[in-house]
Amino acid sequence: MARPIVVDVDTGTDDALALLYAVGCTDLDLRAVTCVAGNAGLEQVVENTLRVLEAAGAGDVPVAAGATKPLIERMRPEGQFHGADGLAGVELAPTSRTVADQPATELLHAAITGASEPVTLVSLAPMTNVAMLLTLHPDVADHLERLVFMGGSASVGNVTALAEFNVWQDPEAATCVVESGLPVTMYGLDVFNRLVIEQEVADRWTRSDHPAVRAAGELLHRRGTRAAGFEQDYVGVLGDAGALLVLTHPELFTTEHLPVRVNLEGLGRGQTIVDRRPHAQDQQALDRDPWPVLEVALDADLAAAAQAFVDVVDALER
Amino acid sequence: MARPIVVDVDTGTDDALALLYAVGCTDLDLRAVTCVAGNAGLEQVVENTLRVLEAAGAGDVPVAAGATKPLIERMRPEGQFHGADGLAGVELAPTSRTVADQPATELLHAAITGASEPVTLVSLAPMTNVAMLLTLHPDVADHLERLVFMGGSASVGNVTALAEFNVWQDPEAATCVVESGLPVTMYGLDVFNRLVIEQEVADRWTRSDHPAVRAAGELLHRRGTRAAGFEQDYVGVLGDAGALLVLTHPELFTTEHLPVRVNLEGLGRGQTIVDRRPHAQDQQALDRDPWPVLEVALDADLAAAAQAFVDVVDALER
Amino acid sequence: MARPIVVDVDTGTDDALALLYAVGCTDLDLRAVTCVAGNAGLEQVVENTLRVLEAAGAGDVPVAAGATKPLIERMRPEGQFHGADGLAGVELAPTSRTVADQPATELLHAAITGASEPVTLVSLAPMTNVAMLLTLHPDVADHLERLVFMGGSASVGNVTALAEFNVWQDPEAATCVVESGLPVTMYGLDVFNRLVIEQEVADRWTRSDHPAVRAAGELLHRRGTRAAGFEQDYVGVLGDAGALLVLTHPELFTTEHLPVRVNLEGLGRGQTIVDRRPHAQDQQALDRDPWPVLEVALDADLAAAAQAFVDVVDALER
Amino acid sequence: MARPIVVDVDTGTDDALALLYAVGCTDLDLRAVTCVAGNAGLEQVVENTLRVLEAAGAGDVPVAAGATKPLIERMRPEGQFHGADGLAGVELAPTSRTVADQPATELLHAAITGASEPVTLVSLAPMTNVAMLLTLHPDVADHLERLVFMGGSASVGNVTALAEFNVWQDPEAATCVVESGLPVTMYGLDVFNRLVIEQEVADRWTRSDHPAVRAAGELLHRRGTRAAGFEQDYVGVLGDAGALLVLTHPELFTTEHLPVRVNLEGLGRGQTIVDRRPHAQDQQALDRDPWPVLEVALDADLAAAAQAFVDVVDALER
Ligand SMILES: [Ca+2]
Ligand SMILES: [Ca+2]
Ligand SMILES: [Ca+2]
Ligand SMILES: [Ca+2]
């Protein structure tokens, strides 16, 4: 049976690719999509999300809008990286799909608690919506299978020496999630930065007649590295979709259960501190203030994971 | 015309007194009450709030439940101070009033944006609900006359050397409010600690037949100081209701427009830093990062303010 | 018998006035003076100090140079306030006095441990030298009567909303002193800002033939407030010398023993947190991490304290 | 010509090994050794240091004592790791060598500024002494070839998830060094944890008649890992001496010039933040507040480096 998921996004070139995967993958049952400000402003994120779902031929998946800004940080949209429209200029056809009346927190609450089996919550964006959900509606804990987020790093950051964008954009929200006591999987830069789709595939897709497949190819051509901007040659970092691959293909990922905290202060603000010392967990157990232990993705069979993504997009065409 | 207000509470002995005032005062039009965890757990706060409204003979004021905990801090209910039930043992009759289906954020949003004139939002509790409202529904800004909160201090703290309970319990939420750009009035410990109702009045009220008036008297007998607990003699600190008196009797309060920030870090966590230096505002103007300027209550005609409260409670009896 | 003291200075208009008092006051026996960067760069501070001692007709008091900068903060000399030369343009005659070969830490160590009775260490500047003394030579603890510092505030700051210059300039050094376990008296802005010498006195002194008395008058004319600069009318804030008056005239000062910590982090960096809550000390006693308890000057008989200073300067002339 | 060096130690099993290397290596000219509290209390460190120099047959190298504690942190000697005596129970013969009258800062100052050629300053301990030297005697900058410190990490910490002992024990002192503007080489845990001496060598040395060689063997048998204590099998981590090997055999080490800052706040306190992002330096250049750029040792030809150490100890026997 397909795994029921709800996904929070800030679409975003790689959120778009992740949504295509979520719609196309027969092992996932996409029940709701909620939007948050991040890679672009909230309105643009909503419009991008609706168009991506349309292109992918998604069924009647409800979409709701959430936070227009982080809890206390100023908005710093990743315009440089995803372009002003969040999609780096990749154009998608308008759609008659509309956003729900209820806000993101209420749609998530309804979708999660209304399901007959436990739901997996996937966060691909700053965790503002998710933090408000957990604060307003703690009853979702009883209905969640797991929470998977793209964010953080157990090694090097991107927006700062130590911090990854999603966590850095709303470190308080990330704290709320990490300290929630829920079973949480962190898909951070440690694998994110290395999981790429080959240019040959992207080139093939850009010639497709299927709008979603063509979009996938075009989006991959924009998936560069932060440092270099868009002028560079093809890079093809897959991004957010990796967090879904961890769900559908756990056998391809190396994860460890490690103590994790979000650093809120000073130069390290926005860092996910992952305690990778040998025996760290034993030491923590002795601590008066034990750290939350998360499942952290540290490595992957990159080629096989990439192929799993490619297979799903190829199947959209059929 | 009465001023339309919505009030967020964590009832609490002094929230109860404030609600009596809000219902009884003809200059205020109480449109909605929302509840948040603080002085007691959320369920208890909701029950206390419904019973207080019943005792006061409030009309059909909708009540909604919000956050069960602060955004990232652990819950630390003020059980020692307000008792396990939040009302220090003062008993109120059960009521058939019920809590709304929608959460606090949605009720506040509807009440504020649905009003035909600007609404004043009064926060008498940790600002978790209010912060989520401003994050999820920034459109309320266009419909708010002003935001008044009981919290903070321009001098000495209570739960720490520097921090007052409401701000300390959810400093991130307080930051969200203080940095919101809205017109904000801070009613902190500087006046809060000094505005008391005389024992003679409280004693008279405890002998009343009117349930709300009798409750007011009993509650005042429990309004001690943090340090001493409940064993002490009568103290009668009025508390939260002072924030409503600032609205109804501004002429009795001395306020200044001062730069204010919430301190999130280290020993000062939970402090409201109020820049009281002479010329501080001029200096701030030159700063690359100007501080929000709030209206801060620093002094009051204490006797007249107390009398204004007494008059409203006395009028409940008629 | 005169109280033996050693004084650490960053001369500075008000350090100059304090040195005149230390030399002239028969109740004080000035054993050594050490210099630290602060109001001016170290070289200028040394030169100013030597000239002030000469003008005051001090005996053979050794002077040593110490830190050229704070432990980790960048140098931010108070040039705006004390002028580029530290003396706001007040000119003093050159002197043949010279600075010692040994650094400040070694002179302080020798002067303190070499005395036959306990010595009082007076800090009128950023506490870099004193912190290094305590770190390198903890044996001074057995030879110190008390440590008095001008710095900090139990209420409003000056260089920031919360921080006073001396502590803010080297908060780590202040921490070292406050946490030293020594008997410490803090003379902060709470009295500092209010202890003034009347203009009539200053005017009389400026007409004196005695170089030190004339200098005292001229210096007082420069003792303005931070906000207004030098253009303003006479203000006459005495400044650092107040910390010596606490020693010679304790009966004129109201002090309390209060828990104090130095705030190192965030917006409050450089603040001295003084816990002024009622019963705070009792509460601290229950704490796992009790705060150091300092004697803090909170009020004074300002007129009498000013007169005590005036008497000493007047006596220089005889 | 041998490179003139002065070394600051907290001897310590691995400081002892480093001192043997410094004495025995013909490419190094050991001019002075200063002691600081760290692995053991100051008195024990001094005694250990004198005995190691005696065992190694060092010439007339002056030894001075410095700080008895970090600038503001509490002393937390690594008793668990190096044993109460700092040498994990390895016994060395008493010596008639004595500690200098002058404190560490003055000996370092004299040795550095008195040399006819530039001197290299090597720190193998918490940097309290070095920070005070740079603060009191900035003129050493003109006489220093380079400053090399064992401390920090560009990846995982040891005493905390992020922090290495020497930096964590006195993060303010480390800040002073890192921000000094001197040419600095950081030899952190990235190589430190991996540079080991084979048990076969250690076993051979323990059977030597030469006291220093035998001590080297015995010390290596105590060089375990923090997590496991002393009960474990042979590990043989060389430790501090690696920082000297970087000087004598730079060709065996991979270093990069990277932006580095010391983290003073919150959960990351004591961490050396090393900005390892691609292009980080370019990005920093654009920053208003550029980070110090240090030479950081990231990798080594571990076998060749170990052999270089073995050769020097073997030569002691001849
Ligand atoms: Ca995203
Ligand atoms: Ca309340
Ligand atoms: Ca001074
Ligand atoms: Ca060492």
How does pLDDT run along chain C (318 residues), one tens digit per residue? 899 999 999 999 999 999 999 999 999 999 999 999 999 999 999 999 999 999 999 999 999 999 999 999 987 777 667 888 889 999 999 999 999 999 999 999 999 999 999 999 999 999 999 999 999 999 999 999 999 999 999 999 999 999 999 999 999 999 999 999 999 999 999 999 999 999 999 999 999 999 999 999 999 999 875 444 445 589 999 999 999 999 999 999 999 999 999 999 999 999 999 999 986 655 655 566 789 999 999 999 999 999 999 999 999 988
pLDDT, mean of each 10-residue run, chain D (318 residues): 96 97 98 96 97 97 97 80 86 97 98 98 98 97 98 95 96 98 98 97 97 97 63 86 98 97 95 88 62 97 98 94
Backbone angles phi, psi at B64, to 5 degrees: -130, 155
Backbone angles phi, psi at A51, to 5 degrees: -70, -40
Euclidean distance between CA atoms C114 and C132, whole angstroms: 18
Q: Tell whether the torsion through CA atoms of C304, C305, C306 and C312 is positive or negative.
A: positive
Work out how many domains chain D is built from and give that number: 1
Euclidean distance between CA atoms A114 and A109, whole angstroms: 8
Backbone angles phi, psi at C109, to 5 degrees: -60, -45
Nearest to A266 among D227, D259, D268 (CB): D268
Q: CB within 8 A of D275, min separation 6: which ones? A: A161, D258, D259, D260, D281, D284, D291
pLDDT reported for residue D1 = 84
What token pair was written down for B108?
């506040």
Q: CB within 8 A of A142, min separation 6: which ones? A: none
pLDDT over 70 for what percent of chain A? 94
For residue C112, what are the β-bridge partners?
Answer: none
3-state secondary structure of C28: strand
pLDDT digits over B146-204, tens only?
Answer: 999 999 999 999 999 999 999 999 999 999 999 999 999 999 999 999 999 999 999 99
Ligand nearest to the CA of D244: 4
pLDDT reported for residue A126 = 98
Nearest to B244 by CA among B202, B294, B191: B191
Nearest to A273 among D162, D278, D279 (CB): D162
pTM: 0.94
Euclidean distance between CA atoms B307 and B301, whole angstroms: 10
Which residue on chain D is closest to B267 by alpha carbon? D266
What token pair was written down for B52?
């207080």
- pLDDT for residue A217 is more than 60: yes
State the pLDDT confidence band at A53, using cuts at 50, 70 and 90: very high
The two beta strands, C253-262 and C293-300, are antiparallel
Which residue on chain C is closest to D178 by alpha carbon? C72
What token pair was written down for D173?
């002192």
Nearest to B132 by CA among B159, B162, B172: B172
Q: How far is CA A220 from the centre of its chain?
A: 16
Q: How many residues does chain D have?
A: 318
Euclidean distance between CA atoms B3 and B117, whole angstroms: 9
- Nearest Cα of chain B lies from the Cα of D264 at a distance, in angstroms, of 11
Looking at the complex, does the CB of residue D132 fall below 8 Å from at least one CB of chain C? yes
User: Which residues of chain B are within 8 Å of residue A66 when distances are taken between CB atoms?
Assistant: 136
pLDDT (average), residues A290-316:
97
Nearest to A135 among B67, B264, B266 (CB): B67
pLDDT reported for residue B287 = 65
Strands (E), C47-133: 63-65, 119-123
Nearest to B144 by CA among B244, B3, B290: B3
Contact D39, D125 (CB under 8 A): yes
Pairs of residues, one from chain B and one from chain D, whose beta carbons lie less than 8 Å apart: 4
Adjacency order of strands within the sheet including A119-123: A63-65, A28-35, A3-9, A119-123, A144-150, A184-187, A293-300, A253-262, A272-274
Element housing D33 (H / E)? strand D28-35
Nearest to A87 by CA among A188, A199, A200, A220: A220
Peptide bond preceding D12 in cis form (omega within 30 of 0): yes
Supply the DSSP symbol for B268.
G
Contact D257, D295 (CB under 8 A): yes
Euclidean distance between CA atoms A168 and A163, whole angstroms: 6
Supply the DSSP symbol for D74.
P
Which residue on chain C is closest to A266 by alpha carbon? C266
| B137/A103 CB distance under 8 A | yes
User: Which residues of chain D are within 8 Å of residue C66 when distances are taken between CB atoms?
Assistant: 136
Residue D54: exposed, middle, or buried by beta-carbon count in 10 A (0-12, 13-18, 19+)?
middle
- Nearest Cα of chain B lies from the Cα of D76 at a distance, in angstroms, of 21
State the pLDDT confidence band at A278, using cuts at 50, 70 and 90: confident
What token pair was written down for D17?
């090994």
Euclidean distance between CA atoms C201 and C236, whole angstroms: 10
CATH of residue D269's domain is 3.90.245.10
- Nearest Cα of chain A lies from the Cα of B53 at a distance, in angstroms, of 23
Euclidean distance between CA atoms B233 and B204, whole angstroms: 17
Euclidean distance between CA atoms A68 and A128, whole angstroms: 9
Euclidean distance between CA atoms C68 and C65, whole angstroms: 8
For residue D157, what are the β-bridge partners?
Answer: none
Q: Which residue's structure tokens are 């508390």?
A: B239
pLDDT in tens, chain B (318 residues): 899 999 999 999 999 999 999 999 999 999 999 999 999 999 999 999 999 999 999 999 999 999 999 999 987 777 667 888 889 999 999 999 999 999 999 999 999 999 999 999 999 999 999 999 999 999 999 999 999 999 999 999 999 999 999 999 999 999 999 999 999 999 999 999 999 999 999 999 999 999 999 999 999 999 875 444 445 589 999 999 999 999 999 999 999 999 999 999 999 999 999 999 976 655 655 566 789 999 999 999 999 999 999 999 999 988
- Global ipTM: 0.93
Residue D240 to residues C65, D1, D150, D151, D192, Cα–Cα distance (Å): 34, 23, 6, 9, 8
Euclidean distance between CA atoms D74 and C111, whole angstroms: 27
Pairs of residues, one from chain A and one from chain D, whose beta carbons lie less than 8 Å apart: 66
Looking at the complex, does the CB of residue D103 fall below 8 Å from at least one CB of chain C? yes
Name the residue range of residue A293's domain.
Answer: 3-315
H helices present in D179-240, as ranges:
189-192, 199-206, 211-222
Q: Which residue's structure tokens are 């709304």?
A: B100
User: Which residues of chain A are within 8 Å of residue C265 when distances are taken between CB atoms?
Assistant: 265-266
